[in-house]
């Protein structure tokens, strides 16, 4: 959306409305009252992250639009179709924390960000410099510490923390890393206020979220849903299910499988999903048709996740391939209790033992697969595996069937 | 003030010296990487813990205070 159209739709750029001595604090206060939390996966309160950076010497704001999750398309869609809303949020956040510079980090590919930055420069609306950087496509490259390290001129690999980015970020400067969608919400809070933001959602999970909905649905794509709606509303938004569904992957590849009957009833709030054994993650929902094999699907993704280890931490570098192999063994006929016990032990073994959460996320994904597809495991063991499915449901990079 | 063990998993190269020096609090996993007790280091073992930290060939073992 071009700048003029964007301003027509959302109204004038309101940085000035938050200007003056009390200005920056006003915005952070509004974001806090709104209850905005991060939409990148961790769900950390945005205002608290902003306060940690505000007032430090020459901080940097990083827009994390480098969506590493292969099943997620929301940030790519947002930066392609609504770049100005994301940039408004970034500039507002930068002004609020006293940062003279914004860096937009994203993958190569179709993007309107560069054009949008030029438009804004020509219009002279931003008192803050915005630059754009392309991030390598690796899964862990968009992890916060890896991103900061990459933007400081090194390889995009996670680092040992502390220091956290707010303490020592890009080139040693205090850094606020925010997901692209989070900043779009922030731009709307700055325009319409925290009461408006809270007019949808629930008191404890206010606002709305973008969800990438895929699998056995009529129209796979990105949909905006209010927090608190039943998860089935996301499938309704995507035109409904195309065939009976056995399970739903919630949150993406660091998320968890839920059996269909649990998933369709659960409400879309962080607390409800955690109580059900899943998490919102980056807002991914994948409906697994009854005709697919959940074990084969999970095994394929687990092997890919193992290949995406940065190779820095032993328990991740050695543990994830071992886990992927165990899962492959279990999916074959004649799988033994031995292998299953070893896999369960290894899942516990890798948890919390990496510099980043890659091993934890992979372990959670596999553990949920073992639980949700327990009946399939038993059938496979008796030498009665699922019939091969027509095509894989879970998308991986370089897969032409990617939704 | 509580003192706990922590390992930098990036610099740790599975030499395993720490588990030799402080078996009370450190064991090794199937790949030779250390598994640390999450409990506070008891005062009686503090000297041995400091020794294990100092002797780690890659300086990956740390004591943290909280």
Question: Percent of chain B, pLDDT > 70?
Answer: 100
Phi, psi of A288 (to 5 degrees): -90, 115
Q: Are B7 and B15 in contact (CB under 8 A)?
A: no
Output the pLDDT for position A13: 58
pLDDT at A268 over 60: yes
* Residue A193 burial class via C-beta count within 10 angstroms: exposed 0-12, middle 13-18, buried 19 and up: middle
Q: How far is CA A189 from CA A78, A80, A260, in A?
A: 17, 21, 35
Counted domains in chain B: 1
Global confidence as pTM: 0.92
pLDDT at A390 over 80: no
Q: Are A185 and A86 in contact (CB under 8 A)?
A: no
Q: Are A386 and A376 in contact (CB under 8 A)?
A: yes
The residue ranking higher by pLDDT, A267 or A3, is A267
Among A209, A267, A236, A4, smallest CA distance to A116 is for A4
Cα dihedral A313, A63, A98, A199 sign: negative
Domains in chain A with CATH codes: 3-197 (3.40.50.11540), 208-289 (3.10.20.600), 294-381 (1.20.1440.230)
Tokens standing for residue A64: 């994390």
**Alpha-carbon distance A354 to nearest alpha carbon in chain B (angstroms):** 6
Cβ pair A314:B30 closer than 8 A: no
Instruction: State the residue for tokens 């190569």.
Output: A108
pLDDT at A402 over 50: no
**Alpha-carbon distance B4 to nearest alpha carbon in chain A (angstroms):** 15
Cβ pair B9:A349 closer than 8 A: no
Question: Percent of chain A, pLDDT > 70?
Answer: 94
Summarize the confidence of residues A344-367 as an average pLDDT: 96
CATH of the domain at B56: 3.30.70.20
Output the pLDDT for position A24: 66
CA distance A317 to A308: 9
pLDDT at B48 over 60: yes
The residue ranking higher by pLDDT, A267 or A109, is A267
Summarize the confidence of residues B40-57 as an average pLDDT: 97
Q: How far is CA B66 from CA A44, A159, B5, B48, in A?
A: 22, 21, 11, 20
Q: What does the H/E/C string look like for chain B? A: CCEEEEECCCCCCCCCHHHHHCCCCEEECCCCCEEECCCCCCHHHHHHHHHHHHHCCCCCEEEEEC
pLDDT at A26 over 70: yes
Q: Which domain holds residue B31?
A: 3-65
Bridge-based pairing state of the strands A221-226 and A208-215 = antiparallel
Mark out chain A residues that contact chain B at CB-CB < 8 A: 159-160, 312-316, 318-319, 349, 353-355
ipTM confidence: 0.94
**Closest alpha carbon within chain A to B8:** A160
**Alpha-carbon distance A149 to nearest alpha carbon in chain B (angstroms):** 14
Mean pLDDT across chain B: 96
Cβ pair A315:B8 closer than 8 A: no
For residue B13, list chain A residues with Cβ-Cβ distance below 8 A: 314
For residue B30, list chain A residues with Cβ-Cβ distance below 8 A: 349
| Chain A with chain B: Cβ pairs closer than 8 A | 33
Cis ω before B49 (30° cut-off from 0): no
DSSP code, position A387: P
pLDDT tens track for A96-155: 999 999 999 999 877 799 999 999 999 988 889 999 999 998 888 989 999 999 999 999
CB neighbours (10 Å) of residue A22? Answer: 10
């Amino acid at each position: 959306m071009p700048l003029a159209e964007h301003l027509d739709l959302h109204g004038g750029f309101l940085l000035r409305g938050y200007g003056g001595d009390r200005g920056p604090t006003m915005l952070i206060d509004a974001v806090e009252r709104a209850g905005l939390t991060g939409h990148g996966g961790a769900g950390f309160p945005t205002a608290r992250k902003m306060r940690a950076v505000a007032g430090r010497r020459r901080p940097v704001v990083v827009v994390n639009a480098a969506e590493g999750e292969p099943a997620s398309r929301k940030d790519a869609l947002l930066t392609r179709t609504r770049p100005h809303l994301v940039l408004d949020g970034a500039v507002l956040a930068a002004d609020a924390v006293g940062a003279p510079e914004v860096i937009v980090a994203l993958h190569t590919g179709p993007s309107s960000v560069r054009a949008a930055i030029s438009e804004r420069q020509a219009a002279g609306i931003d008192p803050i410099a915005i630059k754009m950087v392309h991030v390598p496509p690796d899964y862990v490259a968009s992890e916060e510490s890896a991103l900061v390290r990459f933007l400081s001129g090194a390889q995009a690999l996670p680092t040992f923390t502390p220091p956290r980015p707010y303490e020592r970020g890009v080139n040693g400067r205090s850094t606020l890393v925010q997901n692209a969608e989070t900043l779009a919400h922030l731009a709307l809070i700055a325009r319409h206020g925290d009461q408006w933001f809270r007019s949808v959602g629930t008191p404890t999970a206010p606002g709305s979220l973008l969800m990438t909905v895929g699998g056995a649905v009529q129209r796979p794509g990105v949909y905006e849903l209010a927090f608190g709606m039943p998860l089935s509303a996301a499938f309704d938004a995507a035109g409904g299910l195309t065939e009976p569904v056995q399970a739903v992957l919630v949150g993406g590849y660091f998320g968890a499988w839920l059996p269909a009957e649990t998933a369709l009833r659960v409400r879309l709030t962080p607390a409800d999903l955690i109580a059900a054994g899943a998490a919102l993650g980056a807002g991914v929902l994948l409906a697994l048709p009854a005709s697919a094999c959940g074990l084969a699907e999970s095994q394929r993704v687990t092997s890919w996740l193992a290949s995406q280890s940065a190779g820095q931490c032993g328990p991740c570098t050695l543990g994830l391939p071992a886990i992927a192999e165990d899962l492959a063994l279990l999916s074959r006929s004649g799988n033994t209790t031995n292998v299953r016990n070893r896999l369960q032990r290894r899942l516990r073994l890798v948890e919390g033992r990496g510099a980043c959460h890659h091993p934890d996320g992979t372990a959670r994904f596999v553990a949920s697969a073992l639980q949700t597809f327990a009946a399939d495991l038993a059938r496979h063991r008796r030498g009665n595996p699922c019939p091969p499915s027509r095509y894989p449901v879970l998308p991986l990079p370089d897969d032409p069937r990617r939704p | 003030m509580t003192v706990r063990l922590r390992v930098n998993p990036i610099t740790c190269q599975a030499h395993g010296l720490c588990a030799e020096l402080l078996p009370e609090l450190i064991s090794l996993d199937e790949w030779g990487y250390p598994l640390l007790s999450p409990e506070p280091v008891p005062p009686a073992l503090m000297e041995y813990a400091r020794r294990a930290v100092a002797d780690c060939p890659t300086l990956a073992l740390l004591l943290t205070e909280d």
